[in-house]
Homo-oligomer: A and B are copies of this chain.
Amino acid sequence: MCMAHSTKSSVPDPTEFEIIERYFMPLASAEGLGLKDDAACFRPPSGQDVIVTKDMLVAERHFFADDKPEDIAFKALSVNVSDLAAKGAVPQHYLLGLSLPKQYAEHGWLEGFARGLGDAQKTYNMTLVGGDTVSVDGPVCISITAFGYVSEDTMVKRSGASVGDDIYVSGTLGDAAFGLRAIQAGQGQRARFLRQYHRPLARAGLGNRLTSIATAAADVSDGLLADLNHICSASSVGARLYQAKIPLSDDAKNELAKDTSLWPLILSGGDDYEIVFTARSKCTDAVAKLSQELGLQLTKIGVVTPGPGLELVDCTDKLVQVAATGFKHF
């Protein structure tokens, strides 16, 4: 963990070292050399590829500055693990880059943040191996790089979908978007929505099981339509979705029953951290079996078309074109 590349003073800020020692060393594994060297060192097992992803989260853009630091940390690691899972990789290690306003180092914020990271890395069976901590006169910025392993040449890309493949999504969609909406409206709301927004759980257990089933996959971070469109673009295909098949929590169903204008939030709201994937139609049984084994809902929501573009069969069986960035015809 090479800290304190301060160019403005000849003396590295000692609190940076104290921060590492106190909060982050307990999260480190052997590969991180106690966070006391210039770099980390690891070796993937023979026959494994390294999958690496990097997501940056900035206060007031990806989370609220007054969110609980435990939740911010948990989410920061989860969004990276979600990317690994969508590629079929088993999470291993991560690096933490943290640019932090000085006052945050003084008010228990780091304690909560480290606790949240600890919870998350335990959840995903990962360890911290390095990073960098700098002080900033600006919003908190968290830059995590996460590593996973996958058997050679089995990474699930975005580009492998073929016409006729079925489209699946894990879990349910829209709860996090409802959570964000509740926060923005200052409403008290069902705990499920808020929890889904603040502390998403990446589908780490699903990812690695998809390598033999999925032809393409992405995680649902920008919203189902946008992320499915990423798959379609990379695969040069289109997609048809069936609105009636979109998996919803009971709470979300209740909200929709009261106000159907909330549908676009379900399909484009984002922050779901579920996995959308395509699979050959002959794999229907294999997907059902996997769903049962994992105790995780895997719902067939559509089919890959020649395209281009996305279309939706709505609840009245009417076919409507939809834009990847959101609904046009609701």
Chain A residues engaging chain B, CB cutoff 8 angstroms: 2, 4-8, 10-12, 14, 33, 36-44, 46, 48-58, 60-63, 79, 83-84, 86-87, 89, 95, 97-99, 129-139, 141, 143, 145, 147, 150, 152, 155, 157-159, 177, 180, 197, 218-219, 221-223, 226, 230, 233-234, 264-265, 268-271, 325-326
Contacts and interface: CB of A to CB of B under 8 A. Distances in A.
B58 A134 contact: yes
A10 B134 contact: no
A129 to B, nearest CB: 7
Contacts of A177: 10
Interface residues of A: mostly helix, strand, loop or mixed?
mixed
A39 B51 contact: yes
B52 A129 contact: yes
Contacts of A98: 56
Contacts of A155: 39, 41
Contacts of A219: 2, 38
Nearest to A52: B40
Given A38-B219, A87-B39, A2 B53 contact: yes
Contact of A6 (B44, B132, B222): B222
Contacts of A264: 10
